[in-house]
Structure 1
């Protein structure tokens, strides 16, 4: 059973999916030519939108089971919050790095994408190892 803090975070993440919906509406405007965007922007907007949705849902799935992990302290916090942090950083990197009129390449804010990748990887490894250890301990 998720603890109360995890339940609150799951609720917040579910509400955050509403912002992904509005981003989807924006994306339909882009692909129909109703919002100006070049090829790079269109590709990055699609990637940002997809990563946001997938990472929010993955965050909810992890939070639903992470209380069974053999983790505590820093490691438990990393397992709980690393994917939600990545769900913010990675899409932000995709969207913010191509703002402006007709960019030819991503700007320096692409670093947000790579910070998100680090957060995602660290959280997935930590949660995975912790859940395996928790399962083995429960045998």
Structure 2
């Protein structure tokens, strides 16, 4: 199984992006210690954003590790290849950005980024899943 050069580059970028998640973990320890003021809503959203970023970046790497085997073309290939990485940006951004400020009582309209990310994630996983099933069926015949 060979990985296309552009896929290898994107996987490398995603691996480096995990360093930002690591620094986000440090930020969360500061919030937990009270060094960074945050109300209960912010604490919950910061944790959720951090967790989604980590899981979706790792899921992106897993999808990219196999997607070159799928026989997808054009927009479907792009959706399968980039859907999860785009969701890995949008969903955490929705969590973090929607509760910025001093003592917010509810998320702002930027929570929409979370739901757009969820839709992109679903579409990307659907395209990747169909592509991989198609590649498996093709390999059987």
TM-score range, shorter chain: over 0.9
The Cα of 1:32 is off from its aligned counterpart by: 1.2
The Cα of 1:99 is off from its aligned counterpart by: 0.2
The Cα of 1:70 is off from its aligned counterpart by: 2.2
Gaps of 5+ in 1: none
Distance in 2 between the 1:67 and 1:135 partners? 12
- Tell me the residue number matched to 1:135: 136
- Tell me the residue number matched to 2:10: 9
TM-score normalized by the length of structure 1: 0.99
The Cα of 1:52 is off from its aligned counterpart by: 0.2
- Tell me the residue number matched to 1:87: 88
Distance in 2 between the 1:125 and 1:38 partners? 37
- Tell me the residue number matched to 1:115: 116
Over 2 Å off, 4+ runs: none
TM-score normalized by the length of structure 2: 0.97
Distance in 1 between the 2:74 and 2:3 partners? 16
Gaps of 5+ in 2: none
Q: Provide the secondary structure at the position in 2 that maps to 1:31.
A: helix
CA deviations on 1:91-126 (whole Å, 9 max, x unpaired) are: 000000000000000001000000100110000011
**Number of residue equivalences:** 139
RMSD value over aligned CA atoms? 0.5
- Tell me the residue number matched to 1:72: 73
